[in-house]
Amino acid sequence: MSEGLTKKQMKDLRKLEKMQSKNLEQKNSNMKWIAIAIVSALFLAMFIAIIAVAKNKNKPVTSDGSAKFAQNGHDKMIGVTSTEATNSAKDSKQTLTLVEYADLQCPACRSYSPIVNQLLEAFPGQLKLTFKNFPLTNIHPNAMDAAIAAEAVNKQGKFFEYIDLLYEKQGEWAALPNPDDKFASYAKEVGVDTAKFTEDLKDPEIKKLIDDHRNEGIENGVSGTPTFFLNGERINTPPSIEEFKKLIVDTLSKNNNSGKLKSTQSPQNAVTTAPDQLPLQQ
């Protein structure tokens, strides 16, 4: 190829090639820095957004740190009837209310269900559970159907028997593409009228109630399940029943000493407030 060229010509040719490639590199380098700048800016924006969201989550929901409960949940208290349980809080200042936002398909809620039941047994007449639906439909495809089934059973007054059974048999129905038959058989097992149960499943009010529960939870800063509120204060879910008991004993003694409840606004009012007072959507 280069046989006919003198040394000088060869040198010039090489110089020219070098310049051309440098030119090309310069062009590419512009594109390259644009790409690097765009991507760096995007990542920076994302980190700021994530930090902002995380900060928002940790913020107390209301100024005094207590949540607002406008929706009626399902009340359970040992040693009294369910109506008495609902009314107990306003009659006695010695009563604590534990609000639980739960997803029936969530394995953690399942593990906490016996703990909560033991707590209620341990504080008869003093501790009231208010169960609220918080189905995580993004990750638990059957959670909404389970909540609907439980609410349908509730119309025949067997709510807590039914959810205990649902938790116990969670492994059977959680992965089913269509769990309806299972839900019907569990309903039969707790002794409700299956014809009425099937009819109640279609009730649009049930779906609305569950959505109201969930929206209230979102307003109160709930993002996962189970989330507990003890007398209106969100608590970090205690890792064991002993610590849970200690927390309740401490709160009870604090209430006894102070003579009056710290947060009279909630949740004592919550159970007596009409359900149509929805928290404002923002």
Q: Which residues bind other proteins (CB under 8 A)?
A: 24, 27-28, 31-32, 34-36, 38-39, 42-43, 46, 49-50, 53, 107, 138-141, 175, 177, 223
If the CB atoms of residues 147 and 248 are measured against other proteins, the closer one turns out to be 147
If the CB atoms of residues 26 and 83 are measured against other proteins, the closer one turns out to be 26
Residue type present at position 158: K
Residue type present at position 212: D
CA distance 266 to 237: 20
If the CB atoms of residues 19 and 175 are measured against other proteins, the closer one turns out to be 175
Beta-sheet pairing, 227-230 with 96-102: antiparallel
Nearest distance from residue 26's CB to other proteins, in Å?
12
| SS3 assignment, position 126 | coil
DSSP letter at 66 equals B
If the CB atoms of residues 68 and 140 are measured against other proteins, the closer one turns out to be 140
Nearest distance from residue 205's CB to other proteins, in Å?
24
Considering Cα of 32, then 35, then 41, then 45, what sign does the dihedral take?
Answer: negative
Cis peptide before 239 (omega within 30 of 0): no
If the CB atoms of residues 43 and 189 are measured against other proteins, the closer one turns out to be 43
Nearest distance from residue 137's CB to other proteins, in Å?
9
Q: What is the dihedral of CA 56, 57, 60, 63, to 10 degrees?
A: 30
Nearest distance from residue 24's CB to other proteins, in Å?
7
Q: Per the structure block, which two tokens stand in for 228?
A: 């507990």
Q: Please answer whether residues 69 and 267 qualify as being in contact, where contact means their C-beta atoms are separated by less than 8 angstroms.
A: yes
If the CB atoms of residues 7 and 22 are measured against other proteins, the closer one turns out to be 22
Nearest distance from residue 136's CB to other proteins, in Å?
8
> Phi-psi category of 259—alpha, beta or left, where left has phi over 0 and alpha has psi -120 to 50?
left
Q: Per the structure block, which two tokens stand in for 78?
A: 């040992």
CA distance 76 to 99: 10
CA distance 134 to 9: 81
Nearest distance from residue 220's CB to other proteins, in Å?
16
Nearest distance from residue 89's CB to other proteins, in Å?
32
If the CB atoms of residues 224 and 275 are measured against other proteins, the closer one turns out to be 224
